[in-house]
Chain A
Amino acid sequence: MSARELTAWAMVLLSGGIGASCLLAILNAGLDAPPQPAVLAAVSAAIVGVIALEILLSIFLPRQSDAAPDERERMILARAGHWSGLVFLFGVLPALGHYAMHANGNVMFNVIVLSLCVAALVEYGAQIVLFRR
């Protein structure tokens, strides 16, 4: 398994955990509730998790983690990023539309946070599928 696939697995787990945590917090409080402390904590945890992952990879797989993606990996990253962007767009556009109609920034914030989590899951999940195909 390459370092990039390993990263994708770790990011799927991380974004899945963070996404589930955000989803629970938002569902409990309601979609129009102001940003929840649990959501903000999850975002902080995501940032710390990504930094920790990069440090671990550079310690245990220094050459692979430092290498630029090759031609096949670049194609896979671009395709996964494209799908992820589309998923994000499907969340962001309705959120912006809702904000334009109702001027409720809380709904927009919560929907965009959830869209980000789903888009991250799609991106890294697609990378795993494409790396293994």
Chain B
Amino acid sequence: MPKAPPITNRVKAFREAAGGLSQAALAEAIGVTRQTIIAIEQGRYSPSLESAFRISRVFGVDVESVFGWSADPAGPGPEGR
């Protein structure tokens, strides 16, 4: 099994908090494939800085609300904002 990247994310939580935004719709909004969104949510792929910013802009929050470092647990999730 490949080692998981140290970047954690709350993309799925934000997606669900945003009225159940689909993976396909999020993928379309930031210009990647649905498979890439799935890989990001499952922690199998760390997005580029550009995509990380695009994702956070879709949810209307800053990057660190969505992405965190595994050694430094990510900030509050959508329910805490």
Q: Which residues of A contact B (CB under 8 A)?
A: 2, 5, 64, 67, 70-73, 131, 133
> What's the dominant secondary structure at chain A's contact region?
helix
Q: Quick one: which of B1-21 are within 8 Å of A by CB?
A: 2
Main DSSP-derived SS at the B contact region: loop
- A70 and B36 within 8 A (CB): yes
How distant is A107 from chain B, measured CB to nearest CB, in Å? 39
A68 nearest in chain B by CB position: B31
Q: Which B residues form the contact surface with A (CB < 8 A)?
A: 2, 31-36, 39, 44-45, 47-48, 51
Would you give 24 A-B contacts (Cβ < 8 Å), ordered by A?
A2-B33, A2-B34, A2-B35, A5-B35, A64-B33, A70-B31, A70-B32, A70-B33, A70-B36, A71-B32, A71-B36, A71-B47, A71-B48, A71-B51, A72-B32, A72-B33, A72-B35, A72-B36, A72-B39, A72-B45, A72-B47, A73-B36, A131-B35, A133-B44
